[in-house]
Amino acid sequence: MKELVVISGKGGTGKTSLVGSFAALAGSAVLADCDVDASDLPIILDPQVRERSDFLQGHHARVSADTCVGCGVCQSVCRFDAIRGDGPANTFSKRTFRVDPLACEGCGACQQVCPRNAIALEPVLAGQWFISATRFGFMVHARLGPGGQNSGKLVSQVRRKAHDLARTQSAGFLLVDGSPGIGCPVIASVAGADLVLMVTEPTPSGAHDLQRVVALVRHFKVPAMVCVNRWDLNPAQAAHIEAIAFEAGIVAAGRVRVDDVFDRAQRQKLTVVEMASTDVGRDIRRVWINIRARLDGLAQEKPS
Amino acid sequence: MRIAVASGKGGAGKTTIATSLAVIAAERGLTTTFLDCDVEEPNGHLFLHPALCQKQVVNVPVPQLDEKTCRDHGVCGRCGQACHFSAIVCLGDVVVVNPDLCHGCGACILACPANALKEVPHRTGVVESGQAGALRFAQGLLDVGQAMASPVIRRVKEWGAQEVPAGLTIVDAPPGTACPTVEAVRGSDFVLLVVEATPFGLHDAALAADTLEALGVRAAAVLNRVDRFVEAGRGITEFGGAILRGTMPVLARIPADRQVAEAYARGQMPIGVVPRFRQAMERLLTRLLEVARREAA
Ligand code: SF4
Ligand code: SF4
Ligand code: SF4
Ligand code: SF4
User: In a mutational test of the pocket of ligand 1, which residue from A60, A63, A86, A104 has the highest number of ligand atoms less than 8 Å from its CB?
Assistant: A63
Domain architecture of chain A: domains with CATH: 2-46+135-301 (3.40.50.300), 57-125 (3.30.70.20)
Over residues A89-116, the mean pLDDT reads 93
Look up the pTM and report it: 0.83
Determine the distance separating the centroid of ligand 4 and the alpha carbon of B78, expressed in angstroms. Answer: 6
Mean of per-residue pLDDT scores for chain A = 89
Q: Do residue A40 and residue B267 have CB atoms under 8 angstroms apart?
A: no
| Contacts with A10 from chain B: Cβ below 8 Å | 10-11, 41, 43, 175
Which residues have a Cβ under 8 Å from the Cβ of B274 and sit 6 or more positions away?
B257, B259, B260, B263
Question: Taking 90 as the threshold, does the pLDDT of residue B237 lie above it?
Answer: no
Q: What percent of chain B has pLDDT over 90?
A: 59
Q: What percent of chain A has pLDDT over 90?
A: 56
- The interface predicted TM-score (ipTM) is 0.80
Question: Taking 80 as the threshold, does the pLDDT of residue A74 lie above it?
Answer: yes
Q: Which residue has the higher pLDDT, A138 or B297?
A: A138
Question: Taking 80 as the threshold, does the pLDDT of residue B244 lie above it?
Answer: no
As a whole number of angstroms, the distance between CA A92 and CA A185 comes to: 44
Q: What percent of chain B has pLDDT over 70?
A: 92
Specify the residue with its C-alpha closest to ligand 3, atom 4.
Answer: B102
As a whole number of angstroms, the distance between CA B66 and CA B289 comes to: 54
Q: How many CB atoms lie within 10 A of CB B259?
A: 12
Confidence grade of residue A122 (pLDDT, cut at 50, 70, 90): very high
Is the distance from the beta carbon of residue B167 to the nearest atom of ligand 4 less than 6 Å? Answer: no
Distance of CA B17 to the CA centre of its chain: 14
Determine the distance separating the centroid of ligand 1 and the alpha carbon of B17, expressed in angstroms. Answer: 44
By Cβ distance, the residue of A10, A183, A215 closest to B149 is A183
Q: How many CB atoms lie within 10 A of CB B195?
A: 32
Residues 33-52 of chain A with CB under 8 A from chain B are 37-38, 40, 43
Over residues B83-94, the mean pLDDT reads 90
- Quick check: A120 contacting B, CB < 8 Å? no
Q: Which residue has the higher pLDDT, B168 or A37?
A: B168
Question: Taking 60 as the threshold, does the pLDDT of residue A139 lie above it?
Answer: yes
Q: How many angstroms separate the Cα of B256 from the Cα of each of A205, A267, B227, B260?
A: 19, 16, 6, 8
Over residues A59-65, the mean pLDDT reads 95
What is the pLDDT, as a whole number, of residue A111? 97
As a whole number of angstroms, the distance between CA B159 and CA B53 comes to: 14
| Contacts with A205 from chain B: Cβ below 8 Å | 15, 41, 43, 46
Confidence grade of residue A210 (pLDDT, cut at 50, 70, 90): confident
Is the distance from the beta carbon of residue A74 to the nearest atom of ligand 1 less than 6 Å? Answer: yes
What is the pLDDT, as a whole number, of residue B38? 92
Q: Are A38 and A231 in contact (CB under 8 A)?
A: no
What is the pLDDT, as a whole number, of residue B4? 96
- Quick check: A238 contacting B, CB < 8 Å? no
Over residues A274-288, the mean pLDDT reads 91
Confidence grade of residue B234 (pLDDT, cut at 50, 70, 90): low
Most confidently modeled of A159-168, A216-225, B179-188, B208-217? A159-168
Is the distance from the beta carbon of residue A73 to the nearest atom of ligand 2 less than 6 Å? Answer: no
Considering only the C-alpha atoms of chain B, give the largest distance between any 2 of them, rounded to a whole number of Å: 74
Q: Are A280 and A259 in contact (CB under 8 A)?
A: yes
| Contacts with A107 from chain B: Cβ below 8 Å | 84-85, 103, 105-107
By Cβ distance, the residue of B11, B103, B146 closest to A107 is B103
Question: Taking 80 as the threshold, does the pLDDT of residue B60 lie above it?
Answer: yes
Q: Do residue A203 and residue B265 have CB atoms under 8 angstroms apart?
A: yes
Tell me, what amino acid is at A21? S
As a whole number of angstroms, the distance between CA A182 and CA A197 comes to: 14
Query: Which region, left, alpha or beta, applies to residue B167 given φ > 0 means left and ψ of -120 to 50 means alpha?
Result: left
Over residues A130-150, the mean pLDDT reads 86
Confidence grade of residue B79 (pLDDT, cut at 50, 70, 90): very high
What is the pLDDT, as a whole number, of residue A242? 93
Over residues B189-208, the mean pLDDT reads 87
Helix, strand, or coil here: B21?
helix
Determine the distance separating the centroid of ligand 2 and the alpha carbon of B107, expressed in angstroms. Answer: 9
What is the pLDDT, as a whole number, of residue A220? 79
Q: Do residue A263 and residue B198 have CB atoms under 8 angstroms apart?
A: yes
CA nearest B152 in A: which residue?
Answer: A183
- Phi, psi dihedrals of residue A285, rounded to the nearest 5°: -60, -40
Helix, strand, or coil here: B116?
coil
Over residues A85-93, the mean pLDDT reads 90
Question: Taking 90 as the threshold, does the pLDDT of residue A302 lie above it?
Answer: no
| Contacts with A151 from chain B: Cβ below 8 Å | 178-179
